[in-house]
Amino acid sequence: MFEDFRNKADFVSWNAIQTACLRHEQSAELNYHITMCNLLLRACVKILSLKLGNQVRCNNLKIGLVLKKIMTK
């Protein structure tokens, strides 16, 4: 459902979509990997860990999660 939107959405957009899906009992449509990726990368930025951020990115590539734009700020 969200394939075209996946690479264009930011963190706030995905959270809004996930909330709406959960409220309407459509959790099967959600892709938690994108939100988790954002959360993990933001945490890496806060603790200034380039090494850990790179590991998160490499793991995402291994599972096939490739985002053109992960963080907006």
Pairwise CA distance, residues 52 & 12, whole Å: 23
Q: What is the per-residue pLDDT for 58?
A: 84
Q: What is the pTM of this model?
A: 0.46
pLDDT digits (tens, 9 = 90+) for 36-46: 777 777 888 88
Q: What is the per-residue pLDDT for 3?
A: 57
Q: Which residue has the tokens 């459902």?
A: 1
pLDDT digits (tens, 9 = 90+) for 21-73: 777 776 665 566 666 777 777 888 888 888 998 888 888 778 776 665 555 44
Pairwise CA distance, residues 38 & 43, whole Å: 9
What proportions of the chain, in percent to the nearest 5, are helix, strand and coil? 65, 0, 35
